[in-house]
Amino acid sequence: MLGAERRKRLLHAVRAEGVAHVGMLAERLDVSPSTIRRDLSALQAQGLLNRTHGGAMAEAVQADEPDRPQRSGVASREKSKLASAAVEHIAPGATILVTGGTTTAAMVPLLEGIERLTVVTNSLHLAVDLARFEEISTVVLGGYLRHREMSLLGHLTRQALEELQVDEAFVGAYGITEAGISGAHVDEAETDRWLLSRVRRITALVDGSKFGRSGPVRIAPARQLYRVITDGSAPEDELDALRAAGVDVVQV
């Protein structure tokens, strides 16, 4: 069987049944578990399914369920702490770029009160959250809507940013290593990478669990990062490597 055909069947199985186990898939498609794992990783990189331990699921348990957005302020304490540290450094009158993600979303309710703030985003979720704060001037970068993440991507998104002058960007990430931050979904990360290449100061918000993990697409190299905000669970050696690369590391 062709590899592409196998991946197609595999995706179909996951979608049809909601969940699938590596062992079961290996047996059904008559290939080794290693191959199944590689296939699942590839499909995840394309954002077509969610990898989990032991298999994969069509829909993640995570907060990005389109059904129950339950956004706006209902961030976990951990994310709120990171967000709080990030917001501290924002000056009145600043123009900031905030990309999509649950960690960066936690910043929104904390932005209230910063004077003459302009927030630029390519995330629909962020934009909707921001709409509640009349004093915050909000700019949405247009683009093709990626349904699952509610983010806007592509040529239009990039073109819109060209028109703007952004002081600082705040981003989440799928993973962070001494090489830099990386994303899980190819097209989303690609747009993120482009957006960040236009911004001088980049602050990444990553909890400790993201360290040492690397997604398929690099979003920004370490030397491009201005600041990394993380929590106490981040491994010291990784933090040292970042510091050596000139990154300002903040632990909360």
Q: Does 21 bind its own copies (CB under 8 A)?
A: yes
Residue of the chain from 36, 75, 87, 199 that contacts its own copies (CB under 8 A)? 75
List, in order, residues 6 or more apart from 112 with CB less than 8 Å away.
133, 135, 136
Cβ distance to DNA smaller for residue 28 or 201:
28
Q: Is 78 in the site for its own copies (CB under 8 A)?
A: yes
**Cβ-based neighbours of 132, under 8 Å, separated by 6 or more:** 72
For residue 118, give the H/E element and its range: strand 118-121
- Is 36 a residue that touches its own copies (CB under 8 A)? no
CB of 211 to DNA, least distance (A): 10
Binding residue for DNA (CB under 7 A) from 12, 41, 73, 88? 41
Q: Which does 63 bind (CB under 5 to 8 A by kind): its own copies, DNA, none?
A: its own copies
Q: Mapping DSSP to helix (H, G, I), strand (E, B) and coil, where does residue 229 land?
A: strand
The residue behind tokens 């349904």 is: 147
Residue 58, interface with DNA (CB under 7 A)?
no
Kindly give, in sequence order, each residue whose CB lies less than 8 Å from that of residue 84, ignoring residues fewer than 6 positions away.
110, 252
Output 190 or 248, the one with its CB closest to its own copies.
Answer: 190
Secondary structure in 3-state letters for 29-69:
HCCCHHHHHHHHHHHHHCCCCEEECCEEECCCCCCCCCCCC
Site residues for its own copies, window 91-130 (CB under 8 A)?
102, 124, 127-128, 130
Give yes or no for residue 33 binding DNA (CB under 7 A): yes
Which residues between 131 and 160 bind its own copies (CB under 8 A)?
A: 131-134, 137-145, 147, 150, 152, 155-157, 159-160
Closest approach, Cβ 125 to its own copies, in A, equals 9
Cα(129)–Cα(70) distance, integer angstroms: 11
Widest pairwise Cα distance in the chain: 61
Residues within the interface to DNA (CB under 7 A): 3, 6, 21-23, 31-35, 37-39, 41, 51-55, 214
